Amino acid sequence: MKSPYRTPKELADAGWMHPARVPMLDAVAERFSVSITPDIAGLLRHESVARQFLPSEAELVSRPEDLEDPIGDDAHSPVKGIVHRHPDRVLFKAVAVCPVYCRFCFRREMVGSNAPGVLTPDEMDAAYDYIAAHPEIWEVILTGGDPFILSPRRAQAITERLASIAHVKIVRWHTRVPVVDPARITDDFAAALIAPGITSWVALHANAAEEFSPAARRAIARLVDAGIQMVSQSVLLKGVNDSVEQLEALMRAFVENRVKPYYLHHPDRAPGTTHFRVKIAEGRKLVRTLRGRLSGLAMPSYVLDIPGGHAKVPLLSDDVVEVAPDQWRIRDHAGTWHDYED
């Protein structure tokens, strides 16, 4: 099986970029990891896909509002690998690597080739112990990195360990693997996500209808046919899906593949991602228009992760007030208002 493309030179040699760009893009790759699977390489002819995965010189442009930890994970991390922002659920970051590296990733400073691949056995035990010691935790969300890079054996070990904690009832896996490396989704892997006592969900991240290749559709079907519920996650990205037509096609692709649209994220302020950002006013207009073209079954919730770790807010709600052009007041779940300049 062909290996992923991991350097600008490999991408230039394959014809995906001009060789003259390699020196500048090497500087990008030194800071933000590059990896493009053969499946995604086969889709790079689509601009909506290429823009998500091919490194760009624009990633070297930083702005004062850029944040290394845009959604404030660190402020809510009691032990390594755990983020406990809401009482009834935790993020469990078991891995820090991915099969592909999205150029807009909000954790791009924390994942990649320079990060430790997985938690050590002691770190995993400490994470399990924390979950077990907090009976209010009803849901555990596996993220990272992409937890679907784990082998079936290791995924099953996580599933069974979480299922052994009586108060954990929901285990949700966040992944891009079914669309970027669908061969990983075997019957054994799907079975590894299921255990008595818990309900397993998978949140699939895709941003363009073109990502749903025949192989991706088969991988998604394998998970759903195994009895796993699936929801979607997408990011509103300039030049990728910032038109009503593109969003409509994406949401229809999810539903046609038995994935319930869930979140459409406003882009986070990760370093070097300015070229992907869409203004809130533009996003609100797009989603309002989308509502007139799609059934409720296909509508996602358009949300912003408030910088600083204050959690998500629906951007089409009375928790969001425009006080001046590009100036917003946003209320978090605790009732506190925050200023946000677009």
The CA-atom distances, in angstroms, between 276 and each of 31, 216, 335 are 18, 25, 30
At 120, list the tokens: 């050590």
pLDDT of residue 115: 66
pLDDT of residue 249: 98
DSSP string, 238-281: TTTT-SHHHHHHHHHHHHHTT-EEEEEEPPP--TT-GGG---HH
pLDDT of residue 69: 87
pLDDT digits (tens, 9 = 90+) for 135-169: 999 999 999 899 999 999 999 999 999 999 999 99
pLDDT of residue 110: 79
Q: Is the dihedral of CA 70, 71, 76, 78 positive or negative?
A: negative
Instruction: Please give the class, per CATH, of domain 8-341.
Output: alpha beta
pLDDT of residue 112: 76
pLDDT of residue 286: 98
Domain boundaries in the chain?
Answer: 8-341
- With tokens 């062909």, the residue in question is 2
Phi, psi at residue 338, to the nearest 5°?
Answer: -130, 140
pLDDT of residue 1: 62
**Which residue(s) pair with 321 in the sheet?**
329
pLDDT of residue 164: 98
From the number of C-beta atoms within 10 Å of its C-beta (0-12, 13-18, 19+), residue 192 rates as: buried
Residues of the chain with pLDDT under 70: 1, 114-116
pLDDT of residue 236: 98
At 331, list the tokens: 């209320």
pLDDT digits (tens, 9 = 90+) for 8-36: 999 999 999 999 999 999 999 999 999 99
